[in-house]
Each structure stands twice: as C-alpha cells, then as structure tokens.
Amino acid sequence: MRTIRVLFVDDEPLMLRYIERLMQGRGFDLYFEESAKRALDVVMQQSIDIVVADFYMPDASGVDLLKEIYACNPAIVRILMGGSWHRDAINASVGLYAVDHVLKKPWAVGELERLLEESSRKRFVALARTQPEAHQ
C-alpha cells in the first residue's frame, strides 16, 4: 500500500508550518502551498490523494479551488478548512461545490489526524474501484 499524499493549501505560512510540525511522522506524504494556483499545479503534477484547503485565500477561495480539483479529478478527497465566522458559507459548500469534509478552526490535532485517516480509507476505496493496481 502506498503512502497517502496530502496537500495543504493556506495563504498563511505560519499555519502551514504549524500543520507540518503536527503531521510529520504520522504516515503521510505532505505537500504545502500558499496559493490556489500553485496548489493546482501540484495536483496536476503529483498523484495527490487529499487536499485540505483554507476557506479564504486572496487568489481564490478554498471552495473555488476544490471545485477545480473536483473537475480535474473527482476521486481526490477534498477538505475545506475555515473559521466559525465562515460557518454558513462553509456549510452551504458541502456537497454543492464538491467538498467532502469540513474542518472547522480551531481544530484539535486528533481531529485533523482522524479526518485524514478516514479520508485515506475513502481514497483507497476509490482507487481500488478505478485502478486496482494503484493501491498496492
């Protein structure tokens, strides 16, 4: 079984470094980008399994980014991360804009890890259905 590749997208470098410190050594290949455009480039160049995108970014909203990722590859698990001040917009995005999960800030380390593990299982099931050799 190959390692799950997770791309975190947030325009705040401190948040990305925090996530990197928390998630190192937990069994994922981690990628980090500060812009939606660069995140799309990574998705096109790498075999990304899960994308965790911040709701608000200056160059594109996390919802718009996840919609584009869905259009490129609907099997990628898409997680939208945002604060409680975006609650109504985030909740409206689930399902309508190809958002699989919502991670509300502030979140606990265990919550992020549990969501990534759950998403990993979902991704392996999707890979097994479309490409039986890809999950080996």
CB 13 within 8 A of CB 21: no
Q: Which domain covers residue 40, as residue numbers?
A: 4-135
Closest CA to 116 of 2, 4, 18: 4
Which range is least confidently modeled, 10-19, 30-39, 93-102? 93-102
pTM comes to 0.84
The predicted pLDDT at position 44 comes to: 94
Number of domains, the chain? 1
More confident residue, 22 or 91: 22
> What would the pLDDT profile of 36-81 be if each residue is shown by its tens digit?
999 999 999 999 999 999 988 888 888 889 999 999 998 899 999 8
Query: Please, are residues 55 and 89 in contact by the beta-carbon 8 Å criterion?
Result: yes
The CATH number of whichever domain residue 70 belongs to comes to: 3.40.50.2300
Please, which pLDDT band fits residue 136 given cuts at 50, 70 and 90?
Answer: very low
What distance in Å separates the CA atoms of residue 15 and residue 72, rounded to the nearest whole number? Answer: 26
Read off the pLDDT band of 3 (50, 70, 90): confident
Please give the average per-residue pLDDT across 72-96, as a whole number. 74
Tell me the C-alpha distance between 123 and 136, whole Å.
Answer: 13
pLDDT digits (tens, 9 = 90+) for 102-131: 888 778 878 888 899 888 887 666 655 666
